[in-house]
Amino acid sequence: MRRHWRRQGEWVEFTPGRSVVESEQAVSAWLTDTLRMPPKMLRTMLQREEIRTAGDRLRLKIFAPDADTLEPSDAPADILYEDDACLVAYKPAGMPVHATTPEQDRQKNSLAHAVACHYIWTGQEVRVRHIHRLDVDTSGPVLYAKQAFTHAVLDEAMRRKEIQRHYAAIVQGQPNPKRGTIDAPIGKDRHHSSKRRVSPGGDYAVTHYEVAETGSQMSLVRLSLETGRTHQIRVHMSYKGHPLIGDALYGGDDSGFQRQALHGESLRFLHPLSGEWMEVDAPWPEDMNRLRQKI
């Protein structure tokens, strides 16, 4: 159900109705059940008097300045969607979502650094809070929350598998059947620290796929994830006998394409404040478009 909200300075205002705002108990129930505010956060905000009512309105203080210590990159991220609560940025292939080493942090070449640059250039005192990740060599959209509250709501949505991620991959051969589900647990490869494999003792992992275009040597496959295991699509398609073009780590031919041919096409999620479904598409990168022409 769509909820009307508006920002007023450091406060967000809702109009949930008089039956909600007439008692602290009803307010607390609405915040935890409808907005999915974590109970610990609710107790803290009540103690700090950051939850107020006026008439039929309910106000939460969630927009307090929260500047990041992350050094910005020299150029801002490509923003696919943005409002006061959240942001979706485009991650090009070859860029990590965030720095994992001191050297990467010094180079300031991650998507997090680029998002930090965007916030500074647009005058926003906002901390960089990513909700999910993409592999370094996978392009596509990445969702960010702008406040601790929206971060908590979107994190919970991720845990509940309510954030839908749709991908396009170009794989070797012709998958058969043309549509199906790969339900195979994924664990670490004992012989290769950065590699994963299908393993009976691994973590539950489910990938849905559908072949969209087929050629003599390769096929375009569209995929969606129920789970978000490391390298999940790459592992599952290799397990099925159709590794991604360019994915040498999992048996793919990288002679003519220097990364795994995987792109996040779209992201669908419930907005943390309005409760409405949002869908954000990410354009295909040029290298994937050129490869697709060879199918």
Instruction: Encode pLDDT of 64-104 as tens digits.
Output: 999 888 999 999 999 999 999 999 999 999 999 998 888 87
The model's confidence at residue 200, banded by pLDDT at 50, 70 and 90, is very high
- Do 59 and 8 meet the contact criterion of CB atoms below 8 Å apart? yes
177: preceding bond cis by omega (within 30 degrees)? yes
Residue 173 has pLDDT above 80, yes or no: yes
- The predicted structure's pLDDT at residue 187: 94
More confident residue, 272 or 101: 272
Given this model, what pLDDT does residue 256 score? 87
> By percentage, how much of the chain surpasses pLDDT 70?
100
Q: In what order do the strands lie in the sheet with 164-172?
A: 179-183, 206-214, 218-225, 164-172, 262-270, 277-281
pLDDT for position 99: 85
DSSP state of 248: G
pLDDT at residue 180 tops 80 = yes
pLDDT of residue 67: 82
User: Looking at residue 89, what is its pLDDT?
Assistant: 98
The residues, any chain, with a CB within 8 Å of residue 261's CB and separated by 6 or more, are 169, 170, 171, 244, 245, 246, 247, 252, 288, 291
Average pLDDT of the chain, as a whole number: 94
pLDDT of residue 69: 85
**Model confidence at 163, in pLDDT bands (50, 70, 90)?**
very high
Q: Which residues are catalytic?
A: 135
Of residues 2 and 225, more confidence is placed in 225
Once rounded to an integer, what is the mean pLDDT over residues 118-122?
97
d(CA 30, CA 43) in angstroms, rounded, equals 14
- pLDDT higher than 80, residue 1: no
Q: Quick one: pLDDT at residue 192? A: 85
| Segment 251-270 mean pLDDT | 94
Tokens representing residue 176 in the block: 């058969």
